[in-house]
Amino acid sequence: MRSRILVRLANTLLGLFFVCVAYAQVTTGSIAGMVKDNHGEPLAGVAVKITHVPSGTVYYAVTQGSGNYFIQGIRVGQDFKVEFSFIGFASKTVEGISILLGVQVQLDATLAERSITLPEVVVTGAAFSKTGAATNVTNQQIQTLPSINRSINDFAGLTPQSNGNNSFAGRDRRYNYITVDGAVFNNSFGLSDRISNLPGGDAQPISIDAIDQISVNIAPFDIRQSNFTGAGINAVTKSGDNTLKGSVYTYLRPESFAGKTIDGAKYDWDETAMQTYGLSLGGPLIRDRLFFFVNGEYEKSNKPSTSWKTSTDGNADATNYISRAQTSRLSDLKQHLLDVYGYDPGDWNWHPFTSENYKVLARVDWNMNDRHKVTVRYNQVVSTNEVLTNATSVPTGVARSTYS
């Protein structure tokens, strides 16, 4: 009367990639701009140094003859510092820059000649240049906004083009394309009770506490973002920095949190209960060079197996979800199968179904030198769900809603 599905995504090495210009999907940000002198003329050969202050990760560029510079493959995050320096000109420093996933920061600068006695100029703020209709969800938003299922899909729905049920711009959810750190994360098998694009049955394959940023692209003109007609949903996981920090968390959703009345009328129904326990830890292995981040999470939930109940008199009541199957007859049928055939058909009283999952993510980031960055990521989820028997799995091969 019920079947069990074991979903195991084991030994999944989803990320060994170099932070360079070639990606299956966009997993980084970029910065570009123009540098001029105080007369408005472009400056060529200006050294541009970008530093991620929390981790000490550094990126370099030199302006071209037109005064333009462009740096891509920058890790996402906050608190970046950009320094401009050129012989004969006063240096300029821009602090407090945020790099968003798949977004280009537009940062122009004007350098004054050193003959004009000026101290070092420090400014804050920068403009962003998006490559089409897109919505970016920062780590701060992930931490503060409410989420029912603690899923990437909950935050992807923040985009104005969301039609609900993971549908975007009027397209079926199956036309979406989801990646995590550039690896494809589409729900290819479709083993999920929820309306979900993600693999892992009822389980979220990666804890939302391990996600750093999410971007939802509807109509990008960046050719690296492709293979979809609904939405391209990109997510990147957290990485460590020079500060050792961690968290221990729990989320509880008791059945008592659900109401039992609608417009004054009382109803008796089963509700979902959920418990989540997890921890995260990240920090440096070698300061400014090698960093780690790990996350582990356990989740258990009980949910109604079906809304229908058995009857005592054989009369159906569809309004209150009472079937015509009698409690006494089902009990007699089960006992007959046990006595005559030695077959236990299972519980016919539709007790709540249980779902359990364990997931772990580990990531190491290595700044090999100023030009080469290496990231290795491993994640695994083991999920066990109880579900109703599939329609084609019943003895006749035909689904039945009621039996007499």
Q: What is the pTM of this model?
A: 0.72
DSSP type of residue 113 = B
**Among the ranges given (140-149, 153-162, 190-199, 373-382), the one the predictor scored with the smallest mean pLDDT:** 190-199
**Contact of 300 with 306, CB cutoff 8 Å:** no
**Cα(45)–Cα(35) distance, rounded to whole angstroms?**
10
Q: Does the pLDDT value for residue 283 go beyond 80?
A: yes
**Cα–Cα distances in angstroms (integers) from residue 397 to residues 192, 387, 392, in the given order:** 21, 17, 5
Q: Does the pLDDT value for residue 236 go beyond 50?
A: yes
Selected residue with higher pLDDT from 379 and 226: 379
**Among the ranges given (83-87, 124-128, 157-161, 270-274), the one the predictor scored with the smallest mean pLDDT:** 124-128
Q: Does the pLDDT value for residue 78 go beyond 60?
A: yes
Determine the pLDDT at residue 204. 80
**Cα–Cα distances in angstroms (integers) from residue 365 to residues 18, 103, 239, in the given order:** 10, 21, 7
- Structure token pair of residue 82: 């950009």
Q: What is the mean pLDDT of residues 304-332?
A: 82
Task: Tell me the pairing of strands 353-367 and 373-388.
Answer: antiparallel
Q: Does the pLDDT value for residue 361 go beyond 90?
A: yes
What does the pLDDT look like over 170-217, one tens digit per residue? 787 778 888 888 888 776 555 554 445 566 556 788 899 999 999 888
**Cα–Cα distances in angstroms (integers) from residue 58 to residues 15, 87, 356, 369, 372, in the given order:** 22, 21, 42, 9, 10
Determine the pLDDT at residue 200. 58
